[in-house]
Structure 1
Amino acid sequence: MLIDELTFFFSYNVIYFFTAFLVVTSILSVDFNRDSIRQKKIGSVLIFLPILSLILLIGLRDLSVGTDTYSYYDILWLRDIDLEFGNDFLFALLAKILRYFNLGYGYFLFLIAFLFMFTTYIALNKISKFYYSNILYLFFTYLSFFFFLSMSINIIRQGISLAFLLLAYSYFISKNNKSKVIIFIAFSLVFHSTSVIALILFFISNNKIKYIKSYHYYILFFLCIILSYMNFGLLNISPILIDIIGSDDRRTSYLSGESSIYIVGFKSQFVLFNSLFLLVASFLKTKIKNELWLSNYNVLIRYYILASCTFFMAFQIPYSDRWGLLSWYIIPLFFIPLFSCRYVKSSIKIHWVFLLILIFIGFRFYG
């Protein structure tokens, strides 16, 4: 029996608050500084409770849950599939394989849910180990933000693409397998080619330019806010972008600036949201004592600023929130200093966990 929309969102809330209970109980039950190893081991086991629950919930949803759910049913199951190496090649290939074995669309949804959650788990597990952190806390942080659920049911191609990009990042900072970094980047691009934008921004962020200082990025951030407010953005350079991606590409329709269902224009709520977490990141980096960690953290901040600037410049065009996701999906990584007792100046504070719960409640029930 498939899960209807009302049951789905009720169950999702239950899973979230159960995970919050596990996190709070874990923090209060042991001394963070003295028993961090024990705490990490407990977290590495408890993480499977929400992970497996979410795979079942998301994989067994019916067609009414999520905007992409029925769309892909129409595209991949009600029509003939022509395999072309392009923007959604792997999606089409997976669907064609399942249809060849006479497996229904439900199997496809379950496979995609497993792929998204398993890839995210592997990425967060490696990142947590790199920072001597607790994977349960880091996963809970992702779960607290509205975009995590959207990546699962509303923008599933981009969601899986960014999950593979996060996996590539986890191997990149570990510096132990360059070939896997390349492989996972390739997977990301084949699932959703817009990830190339994130790659370009990360390349710029990871390579220091002699005459560009950290404060220049902050100046750029506020400059882009002003330009966006003055209605200058990607629409002004759309002819150049169309020349790059091709005039017959369906994505060029997003560069028209016209939409019957999506309101375009300056969005102060998103500017405030991105600005708030830039302030949070700037504050939390002061907690880091390890130079390697601080270097990686500064790269994340520079990337976040550049991705936010791109997002602000996209306010003119429909579905700009999909550009926003390029900045949003790394916000949980900013909280890493709170979840590690090694090489940081203070341990986790329980009020940060309650702040994450309030963020979830705010977006889930009032957003």
Structure 2
Amino acid sequence: MDIFNLKYYIIYSVFAITAFIFAMYVDFKKKQYNNISRFIAAVFFILIALLFGFRGEEIGSDTEMYKWQFMYHANLDFGIQFIFKYLIVFVHVFTDEAQYFLVAISLFYVLFIFWSINVFLKSFESNFLLIAFSFVSLFFFLALGINIIRQGVSLALVLLAVSYYFKDNKNIKSWLIPFIIAIGFHSATAVILILFIIIVLIRKVSLNYYYIWYFLLLGISALGGSILSFGSFLNYLLVIDSKRSDFYVKGEGAGEYVIGFKAQFVAFNTIFLIIFSLINHKLLKNENENYKLLLKYYLSISGVFFMMFQIPFSDRWGIMSWVMIPFLIAPLFSINNTSRLGIFTVLFLIFVFVFFNIYNS
């Protein structure tokens, strides 16, 4: 583990220095250099994918399980997560070595994130490398890459779906297909699709109501309320595939996972909410409809997250909100941003990375 972490920290450190340099160009030279930025980000992503893919079984609590699933997939029922099984079958065409399956998953993970950023920038002008750096700086990026890898690929596909929606929301296939594939990797992503469609259908509803939703559910959670109050409905909301409900509701396999109100997660989500609100009102003047839709999603899924504190693995619901953070801070990396906050944002992201690595050590 120490060798793995050392390699990861070295890659991140070089990435951070590069991001700082590009942030200076954005802030002072007002240059994006996105062709170079895209190439350099691709190099870093490939290095990270190879590091994740060739990790040992001791890296990531579920790594051994995924290798076992690869070897014995024919005898396993993946339920609605059939696309994950198809990927296993596809890799078996080329090799029976489980290590290369992990490499394939890791490459898909970073590929879909890279692809989503590329499409996203067609709607939001910003620096490619700095958005990519934002992903790597946040603590969930590593967890999605070496532990909950099915959810990692699934959420990367969600990012791709959202990016295509922003590019052309009338082309339903372009954003609905990635969503469907994402559900085929991790069934809980169906909740994101349902929530996203609801937000789109009621897009004219004021952003203020979403703030009310956020703080209302936060208050209920703080008083001990949770999704458990909805009884059997939980089976469908949580996992769609009811076979996995015991895993989440009863905590089978949860070990020493602590349930209950988590002030640290509330603080994390709320700090970023304040940042996003300032971006929306101060930088974008509350005029960018796509950004407001993304903010509505963040507020909505965060509220759902707060209601999950009383069940095991609630942080996996938090990731559904956190994964949008890089897109929501993207306006800070734009040459149209006259406040020159690119460098400060990079330094803040480095602080977040260092803080959570110390906190989780």
Do both proteins adopt the same fold according to a TM-score greater than 0.5, normalized to the shorter chain?
Answer: yes
Matches within 5 A, 1:163-202: 163-175=156-168, 177-202=171-196
2:272 aligned residue (247, 272, 277): 277
Bigger relative contact order, structure 1 or 2 (CA pairs below 8 A, ≥6 apart): 2
**TM-score, normalization: structure 1?**
0.90
Identity of aligned residues (%): 34
Task: Report the RMSD for the aligned CA atoms in angstroms.
Answer: 2.3
**5+ unaligned residues in a row in structure 2: which ranges?**
none
The 5 Å alignment of 1:172-251 reads 172-175=165-168, 177-208=171-202, 212-242=205-235, 249-251=243-245
Task: Tell me the residue number matched to 1:94.
Answer: 87
Residue type at the aligned position of 1:18: V
Provide the rounded CA distance (Å) in 2 between the counterparts of 1:295 and 1:120: 23
Offset at 1:312? 0.5
Deviation at 1:225, TM superposition (A): 1.4
Aligned to 1:327: 321
Corresponding residue for 1:21?
17
* Aligned with residue 267 of structure 1, among 256, 262, 268: 262
Q: 1:240 to 1:27 in 2, by over 3 A?
A: closer
Match of 2:299 in 1: 305
Q: Note if 1:146 corresponds to 2:142.
A: no
Is residue 23–residue 333 contact of structure 2 (8 Å, CA) maintained in 1? Answer: no
Match of 1:361 among 349, 354, 360: 354
Whether the 8 Å CA contact 1:233–1:313 is kept in 2: the answer is yes
Inter-CA distance 101–332: structure 2 relative to 1 (3 Å threshold): closer
CA deviation after TM superposition for structure 1 residue 218, in Å: 1.5
How much has 1:41 moved relative to structure 2?
2.6
1:137–1:339 CA contact under 8 A, matched in 2: yes
How far apart are 1:322 and its partner, in Å?
Answer: 0.7
Shifted more, 174-183 versus 259-268: the winner is 174-183
Aligned residues: 357
1:100-159 CA distances to partner (integer Å, 9 max, x unpaired)?
554200110111111111111011111123212111000001111000111111110011
TM-score by length of 2: 0.91
Greater alpha carbon shift after TM alignment, 103-112 vs 215-224? 215-224
Residue pair 1:40, 1:135 contacting (<8 A) in 2 also: yes
SS of corresponding position for 1:261: coil
Match of 2:31 among 22, 36, 41: 36
Selected match of 2:109 from 105, 116, 125: 116
Structure 1: tracts of 5 or more residues without a match: none
CA distance, structure 1, for counterparts of residue 30 and residue 268 of structure 2: 35
CA separation of 1:247/1:87 partners in 2, compared to 1, >3 Å: closer, same or farther? closer
State the Cα distance separating 1:291 from its structure 2 match.
7.3
